[in-house]
């Protein structure tokens, strides 16, 4: 039986809820990504140009440290990464996650929740990180998933075994 892992980061639980629905539909395991320094509500204030997220997201190559608790993915065929959209793209800690996981040979897909932004820039951001790591991975088209219907439609497009 092919195995799927849903790995997500969520600051305010919106992405977490979607990740749980996807894991249920696919009978997948689920794991959460934790920032080494958790984000406070002041950190998440996008109206403040000096907030932590404003600074991190506007720095092109910034990396954000994560806790050393990523699951061992060696036994999974398929990996789905979920994240909110911050300033049009994934939180910088998603880049750290992709750097740290060995994604060679995996079927990879990613999704987001957002306040309205689409997935194009997030897809490009993730594909660039995959290229920078020289991973031999298959990448599916990601999507913003804000409703049950969108989730079910997207899951059907995945090339998962």
Ligand X SMILES: Cc1cc2nc3c(=O)[nH]c(=O)nc-3n(C[C@H](O)[C@H](O)[C@H](O)COP(=O)(O)O)c2cc1C
Residues that bind ligand X (CB under 6 A): 10-16, 44, 46, 53, 84-88, 113-117
Q: How far is the CB of 10 from ligand X (least distance, A)?
A: 3
- Our CA angle for 78, 82, 84, nearest 5°, is 165
Q: Which is nearer to ligand X, 44 or 70 (CB)?
A: 44
Q: Which is nearer to ligand X, 10 or 96 (CB)?
A: 10
Q: How far is the CB of 45 from ligand X (least distance, A)?
A: 7
CA distance 146 to 109: 16
Q: Which is nearer to ligand X, 46 or 67 (CB)?
A: 46
CA distance 108 to 102: 11
Q: How far is the CB of 147 from ligand X (least distance, A)?
A: 12
CA distance 148 to 152: 6
């Amino acid at each position: 039986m092919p195995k799927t892992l849903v790995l997500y980061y969520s600051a305010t639980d919106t992405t977490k809820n979607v990740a749980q629905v996807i894991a249920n539909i696919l009978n997948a395991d689920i794991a959460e990504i934790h920032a080494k320094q958790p984000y406070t509500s002041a950190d998440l204030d996008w109206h403040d140009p000096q907030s932590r997220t404003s600074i991190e997201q506007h720095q092109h190559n910034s990396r954000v440290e994560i806790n050393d608790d990523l699951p061992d993915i060696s036994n999974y065929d398929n990996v789905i990464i979920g994240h909110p959209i911050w300033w049009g793209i994934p939180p910088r800690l998603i880049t750290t996650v992709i750097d740290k996981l060995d994604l060679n040979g995996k079927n990879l897909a990613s999704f987001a929740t957002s306040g309205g932004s689409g997935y194009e820039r997030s897809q490009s951001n993730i594909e660039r990180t995959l290229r920078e790591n020289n991973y031999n991975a298959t990448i599916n088209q990601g999507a913003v998933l804000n409703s049950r219907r969108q989730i079910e439609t997207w899951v059907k497009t995945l090339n998962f075994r």
